[in-house]
Every structure is written in structure tokens, then in C-alpha cells.
Amino acid sequence: MGSVFLPHLNTGWHVDQAILSESERLVVIRFGRDWDPVCMQMDEMLYRISEKVRNFAVIYLCDIDKVPDFNDMYELFDPMTLMFFYRNKHMMCDFGTGNNNKLTWTLDDKQELIDIIETIYRGARKGLGLVVSPRGKYYFVYNVAISQLYVFLRRHRFHHITNALRLFY
């Protein structure tokens, strides 16, 4: 339901303009498919934090089926990808996963996502192109593995296992 309230970027031009036009705040773009359950979960989280981060970040959604212009350039192959831009520059964050270009898993904790966005914003203001995530490296590696396993099991209809897995993350 959160995707209804967040602004959508419907063309490649709109994506470019969103990145180019914002000079003081971090631009956060969720690339994915609006109908995908993983995207819906992240959209809800983004909507819930949007008011709390509005002074230093602006959040947009972009459906990769409607706007395929960036799929190859940003390697948008995951169900959901969160990317960060500041003053027309792609911001990278070391989550401890090896891929510093984007966040490709959902988060269940609002404060965790706020901390990530704020850390990237503060690093960007200092002129850094790469910042280190506020959470520990092994924490993210564990969460990514569990999150990806959960998505795989849900996709292949292993509901009894996914219900048990919810206890761990």
C-alpha cells in the first residue's frame, strides 16, 4: 500500500530529472516491480520512514518493467534494488556484502533503514563517494542470506518453511 503514496518515476527522463534536480537532499530510488511482494514490503517501509527522512532525503519508486532504461546500466536484476544519489552522483555504501552499489534486500526495522539513509547522506555531504554502513559487516551478511533464502522459499511455495524462518529474522 505504501507505493500508492510515494512518487513514481514513469520514464527515464523523470529518473534523470529526479537525480539532477535535487541539490541538498539524498535521492533514494527503489527500482523493482510494483506488484512484486518484496517491493511491496520495501515500499511500505519507505513510506513509513518518508516523513522522518524528508529533511535530508527524498524517496522515489521506479518500475523496471515500465522504465527499462537503467536495467543494464545499474544491473537491476534483483526483485528490489535501492540506490542512492547525491548531487547527480551515485553514492555507494559498504554493507559487507561485496556489492557497494546498491541495497538488494528488504529491511524489517525502520530505524535501521533511517540510519543507513542518514549515514549515506552525511558521507555525501562530506564529499565521500563510498560510506560504510552503520551496522556491522557480519550482521548484513547474515540478514542478506536469510532474506534471500526467505524470498526463494516463498517464490517456490515452501510456505511451511518460510513460516518457521520468520522466527529467525
Tens-digit pLDDT profile for residues 107-165: 888 999 999 999 999 999 999 988 988 865 445 555 666 666 667 766 766 655 555 55
**Domain for residue 145, yes or no?**
no
The grid coordinates listed for 129 are 563517494
CA distance 43 to 4: 9
For 36-71, the pLDDT digits (tens) are 999 999 999 999 999 999 999 999 999 999 999 999
**Domain for residue 101, yes or no?**
yes
**Domain for residue 148, yes or no?**
no
Q: Quote the Cα angle for 69-144-48, to 5°.
A: 70
| CATH label of the domain that carries residue 91 | 3.40.30.10
CA distance 6 to 103: 19
**Domain for residue 158, yes or no?**
no
At 100, the pLDDT band (50, 70, 90 cuts) reads: confident
Q: Name the residue among 56, 73, 55, 54 with its Cα closest to residue 15.
A: 73
Across the chain, which distance is largest between two alpha carbons, in Å? 48
Q: Which domain holds residue 32?
A: 2-135
Helices (H), the chain: 2-5, 12-21, 37-53, 110-125, 137-155, 159-165
**Domain for residue 152, yes or no?**
no
Instruction: Report pLDDT for 4.
Output: 81
**Domain for residue 156, yes or no?**
no
The grid coordinates listed for 46 are 519507505
Q: Name the residue among 106, 80, 112 with its Cα closest to residue 166.
A: 106
**Domain for residue 14, yes or no?**
yes
Instruction: Report pLDDT for 143.
Output: 61
Amino acid at 49: I
Domains in the chain: how many in total?
1
**Domain for residue 106, yes or no?**
yes
